[in-house]
């Protein structure tokens, strides 16, 4: 009698979208095949083509991180085998859906799983992927979760199940962000910030859909409105002067915050880049100008431009004897700086919204008003697309039109 070996699931590891899209790095997926059925799962890792051994479907083991990822891939292959054997021992004819449930530990119905619980689990997994997700991105996920929680409380809900997510729920959440006072801001959210929060919620929902915990994606067909004509807050030269002349000599923290804000207004750095500025990112040219050269945290693109005399003076004060990898400025949270700025805004009688990011807006508008070309401002701000910079040009043109109308 001839015995045929029992068919077992086979696993193929591959770079998702490779060959279809040109990306810097690609998500690593596993394709599990069994009895003419197919299951694809994200392994929650990414690889650049130069790090990937296409012949063996593994990372090249030339880095500690790559070796760690190869171990995780091996563990996944083993988990598929173990899940298959476990199901067979239970006298069950395994299916890929059953195998997935055993591997992921998600053997629950979609309408029985708490969305916040799933959200927290997914963010925790992202935290472990330090080479894929920056801390600033994780912070955005956490803030979006907090806003979602506050929204649920306002509706009188303790939680919402995955199966209860709908387009109407998303629409109500978006309306909440745009129309209700957000405690941490003291006002409703700007549309750009609301879009960022909705994108983070959508990313978590997409993960749930991939894991087959949601049958239909509630974001499918839902368009998040991007308002390109929104009012961007910035300070005028008169308001900047009010802030500069404000007597805060008795409040060292406020005095320091004012100087740091002045620096942002002078160079337009985002908060993350400003805080990550290190001594080795600065260099003097032969004509005595101090140049900034660094990689932007948000876009990973390079910044390289000379600093103004005011920005240079502030750098010299805070750099002192520090050098090399040391940070130029003290490590202060964005929330703390913005709180101090709001205090000074009240003291100076300024009505405009004010924050670290308003300093970036101020730099952009004042640069255009001073006659600097939009192409140069685009480079100084580190925008990949000039359309992002055009928002400030519209503001500058509007100010010109209003000035002409005042002349009669």
CATH architecture for the domain at 237-406: Orthogonal Bundle (1.10)
Please give the span between the terminal C-alpha atoms of the chain, in angstroms, as a whole number: 104
User: Given CA atoms 141, 145, 151, 154 in this order, what sign does their dihedral have?
Assistant: negative
Is residue 28 within 8 A of residue 47, CB to CB? The reply is: yes
Confidence category of residue 391, pLDDT binned at 50, 70, 90: confident
* Separation CA 94–CA 155 (nearest Å): 42
Query: What mean pLDDT is reported for the chain?
Result: 85
Position 120 pLDDT exceeds 50: yes
Q: Which residue has the tokens 């308002």?
A: 227
Confidence category of residue 6, pLDDT binned at 50, 70, 90: low
Checking phi first, is residue 292 left (phi over 0); if not, alpha (psi -120 to 50) or beta?
beta
* Separation CA 96–CA 41 (nearest Å): 11
Lowest mean pLDDT among 51-60, 141-150, 207-216, 244-253: 207-216
Beta-sheet pairing, 58-59 with 290-295: unpaired
Question: Residue 119 contacts by C-beta under 8 Å, 6 or more apart in sequence?
Answer: 145, 148, 204
pTM over 0.85: no
Lowest mean pLDDT among 234-248, 341-355, 374-388: 374-388
Token pair, residue 288, equals 């005595």
Whole-number percent of the chain with pLDDT over 70: 90
Reference 376, options 268, 245, 249, 247; nearest CA is: 268
pLDDT of residue 87: 79
Is residue 267 within 8 A of residue 315, CB to CB? The reply is: no
Mean of pLDDT values over 125-137: 82
Beta-sheet pairing, 282-284 with 58-59: unpaired
* Separation CA 87–CA 107 (nearest Å): 13
Mean of pLDDT values over 351-366: 91
Token pair, residue 244, equals 């500069």
pLDDT of residue 230: 54
pLDDT of residue 108: 45
pLDDT of residue 229: 47
Is residue 161 within 8 A of residue 108, CB to CB? The reply is: no
Q: What is the 3-state secondary structure (H, E, C) of the chain?
A: CCCCCCCCCEEEEEECCECCECCCCEEEEEEEEECCEEEEEEEEEEECHHHEECCCCEECCCCHHHHHHHHHHHHHHHHHHHHHHHHHHCCCCCCHHHHHHHHHCCCCCHHHCEHHHHHHHHHHHHHHCCCCCCHHHHHHHHHHHHHHHHHHHHCCCCCCEHHHCCHHHHHHHHHHHHHCCECCCCECCCHHHHHHHHHHHHHHHHHHHHCCCCCCCCCCCCCCCCCCCCCCCCCCHHHHHHHHHCCCCCCHHHHHHHHHHHHHHHHCCCHHHHHHCEHHHEEECCCCCEEEEEECCCCCCEEEEECCHHHHHHHHHHHCCCCCCCECCCCCCHHHHHHHHHHHHHHHCCCCCCCHHHHHHHHHHHHHHCCCCHHHHHHHHCCCCHHHHHHHHHHHHHHHHHHHHHCC
């Amino acid at each position: 009698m001839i015995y045929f070996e029992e068919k077992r699931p086979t696993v193929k590891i591959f770079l998702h979208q490779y060959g279809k899209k040109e990306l810097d790095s690609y998500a690593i997926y596993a394709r599990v095949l069994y009895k003419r059925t197919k299951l694809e799962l994200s392994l929650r890792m990414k690889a650049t083509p130069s790090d990937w051994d296409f012949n063996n479907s593994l990372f090249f083991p030339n880095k500690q991180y790559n070796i760690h990822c190869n171990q995780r891939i091996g563990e996944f292959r083993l988990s598929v085998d173990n899940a298959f054997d476990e199901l067979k021992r239970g006298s069950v004819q395994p299916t890929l859906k059953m195998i997935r449930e055993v591997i992921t530990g998600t053997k629950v119905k979609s309408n029985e799983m708490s969305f916040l619980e799933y959200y927290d689990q997914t963010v925790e997994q992202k935290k472990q992927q330090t080479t894929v997700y920056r801390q600033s991105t994780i912070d955005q996920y956490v803030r979006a979760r907090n806003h979602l929680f506050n929204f649920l409380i306002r509706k009188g809900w303790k939680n919402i199940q995955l199966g209860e997510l709908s387009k109407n729920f998303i629409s109500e959440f978006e309306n909440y962000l745009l129309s209700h006072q957000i405690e941490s801001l003291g006002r409703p959210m700007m549309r750009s910030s609301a879009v960022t929060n909705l994108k983070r919620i959508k990313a978590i929902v997409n993960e749930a859909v991939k894991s087959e915990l949601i049958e239909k994606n509630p974001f499918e067909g839902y368009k998040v409105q991007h308002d390109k004509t929104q009012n961007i807050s910035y300070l005028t030269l008169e308001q900047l002067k009010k802030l500069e002349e404000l007597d805060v000599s008795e409040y060292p923290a406020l005095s320091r915050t004012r100087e740091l804000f002045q620096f942002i207004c002078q160079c337009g750095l985002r908060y993350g880049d400003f805080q990550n500025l290190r001594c080795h990112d600065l260099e003097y040219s032969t004509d005595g100008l101090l140049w900034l050269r660094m990689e932007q945290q948000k876009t990973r693109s390079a910044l390289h431009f000379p600093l103004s005399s005011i920005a240079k003076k502030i750098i010299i004060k805070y750099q002192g004897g520090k050098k090399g990898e040391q940070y130029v400025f003290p490590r202060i949270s964005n929330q703390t700086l913005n709180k101090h700025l709001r205090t000074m805004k009240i003291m100076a009688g300024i009505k405009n919204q004010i924050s670290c990011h308003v300093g970036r807006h101020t730099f952009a508008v004042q640069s255009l008003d001073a006659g600097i070309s939009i192409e140069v401002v685009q480079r100084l701000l580190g925008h990949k697309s000039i359309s992002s910079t055009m928002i400030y040009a519209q503001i500058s043109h509007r100010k010109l039109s209003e000035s002409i109308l005042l002349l009669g």
